[in-house]
Chain A
Amino acid sequence: MSQGVLLFAHSSEQVNYGVLACWMASRVKKHLQKPVAVVMDQYTYDGLLQSSIVPKKYFDHIIINEVGDLQFRRLGDEMIPFTNFDRTDAYDLSPFDETLVLDIDIVLQSNRLNCVWNSDYDLLLSNDSFDIFDREHSEFQHLKEHGIKFKWATEFYFKKSPMAENFFNLCKTAKEDYNWKSVLYGFSNWPIRNDFLWSIASHEGNINIPVIPRKLRYSIDRDEVVEMRENEIIIGTQTDRGPKVLNVAGQDIHVMNKYELMILGAIEIGVLL
């Protein structure tokens, strides 16, 4: 059974997701020691070549996949374009029998995710999470108050199997019917969020999907990455009680401030942006 990590990278003018994916791949190789496949569009691939990056150095498989419309997401005070429409195709695109899909803004600092390989499970999702500064974000608990439970599409594992295929088919259906689902479950119909698709598929499929055995720790987009070292990251934020700073060492963390992560990631792999 082949095993590997699948990443998705579609660059925009503001964020070079290609470079971020290279940095992420280097972290995967270091901490998980698994092959890495990346799904990117031609624009992202060409961007890497223009930055004098040799993609083959970082990725074992490069899958060129053109995606459609751009969406916009908040990054600090700015709205930046992004596209993530092909995450639902992870099952079809993955070259591995066992696949761990990771967002490229997860800072890998441990090998804990290696516990998923060779498991009896066809699909493992990420349910529980916490903000490192302990702020409450109800949007990461339920799709709306008293609504269906939130699932992260940030990290998940699947095995090529009918059960996993069925789950991704449900995700695709939810994406096609996103307007109607947004009315049904009471959330905004734009932008299309993969987390919501995962949540809807889990709910409608009536599948009790087992979870990756850990709480996903995260910092939000307006938090500042103060410093990133080999095995620790220092993150700062403004609270109503003044500035606060925390050190996350030897633990993986989802850092939503992609822009700063991209700059520090590029420095780490020695790439000039």
Chain B
Amino acid sequence: MNNLEQALSFANYQYTLTKERKLLTQKFQENTIIAYNGGLFKITPEFIGGIKAMKSEWALDINNNPVKIDDVDAFILEAQLSYEKAITEYGAEFSALRAKRNVKSLVNL
């Protein structure tokens, strides 16, 4: 393989890796959405921290609708578990992706 072919091959690899990483990030974002008591919540560490600190019976969902939190502790637990599951899956898939060294393996062909 000459230098040009090598460069093109690397560019193709970088392109695929970048797009696959973006897809994984989007998947992670989706996996951090939970439905609770009629509302839809985007779970982040900041959100969990905020709910824990406030212990408020109301929380704003992604559309800024106030949603009654009947059992704050149970809600926090559910949010934590969902986030934990999403970030663990993201981490594992991201590491696996980074370990792949050519386009064929990146796309599982």
Contact = CB atoms under 8 A, between A and B. Distances in A.
Given A121-B63, A244-B12, 6 more contacts: A115-B40, A133-B19, A241-B12, A247-B107, A249-B108, A250-B27
A227 interface: yes
B45 interface: no
B38 A120 contact: yes
A118 B35 contact: yes
A248 interface: yes
B15 to A, nearest CB: 6
A251 B23 contact: yes
Interface stretch (A18-26, A28-36, A210-218): A210-218
Given A132-B19, A133-B19, A245-B109, A213 B38 contact: no
Given A115-B40, A247-B108, A214 B30 contact: yes
B63 A217 contact: no
B67 A251 contact: no
A68 interface: no
| Interface range on chain A (Cβ under 8 Å from partner) | 20 to 34
B35 A116 contact: yes
Contacts of A242: 8, 12
A234 B16 CA distance: 12
B48 to A, nearest CB: 17
A215 B26 contact: yes
Contacts of A245: 16, 103, 107, 109
A117 B33 CA distance: 13
A234 B23 contact: no
Contact of A132 (B12, B23, B31, B67): B23
A269 interface: no
B109 A115 contact: no
Contacts of B29: 214-215
B67 A120 contact: yes
A101 to B, nearest CB: 18
Contacts of A117: 35
Contacts of A251: 23, 26-27, 30
Given A115-B40, A120-B67, A246 B62 contact: no
Contacts of B40: 115, 119, 213
| Interface range on chain B (Cβ under 8 Å from partner) | 20 to 34
B29 to A, nearest CB: 8
7 contacts: A112-B31, A119-B35, A134-B19, A214-B33, A215-B26, A242-B8, A246-B16
A124 B107 CA distance: 33
A103 interface: no
Interface string B49-65: 00000000000001101
B42 A248 contact: no
B34 interface: yes
Contacts of A273: none
B91 to A, nearest CB: 15
A232 B108 contact: yes
A70 interface: no
Contacts of B16: 244-246
Contacts of B27: 250-251
Which of B8, B11, B62, B108 gathers the greatest number of chain A CB atoms within 10 Å? B108
Nearest to B34: A115
A49 interface: no
